[in-house]
Structure 1
């Protein structure tokens, strides 16, 4: 059984100078204007996602973060009590449920 591929359609409006620039680049690269635009958009999208979803640290910053994780402070009794109270009241099941009525 064949599956139907779904495709999204994008429509862009550009001035004549941009159109000619894209057209020339497509011709020189041996690709269609659509393919050139898709390649550029995908490349830019991956770059933006990479920049916005990763943390870059200097070696010094990475060492400080590692030290903080390895030498974390002892959990206080007050924090443990608060966590127990939170769990006992079932906040995690009721307040964050997918049910819009909170049930």
Structure 2
């Protein structure tokens, strides 16, 4: 399988950013487990509040919508604008060829 001009995923350029996965995981899970923001819109109407609460998704909206993956410590996909400052100077980031990246639970970044 050819991926981004490389013969295998192992040959794709990767960048190790210690602690990045946990930072993103903590940020996303904080959003996911916070009260659904839609409930604030109907807080004064008990009937509507119950209806919205009953139909609310399993998790509150997050930026990445990959809560199940984060809970299972699976790789997540995220956009270029979420890359940390450590990615500056890294060829896949600087070339602007890639708009999406994959982050593994062991803090390795690679183009998606």
Coarse TM-score class (shorter-chain normalised): under 0.3
Q: Pick 1 or 2: higher relative contact order, CA cutoff 8 A, min separation 6.
A: 2
Q: Per residue, is there more helix in 1 or in 2?
A: 1
TM-score (norm 2): 0.21
TM-score (norm 1): 0.22
Q: Per residue, is there more strand in 1 or in 2?
A: 2
Q: Which has the larger radius of gyration?
A: 1
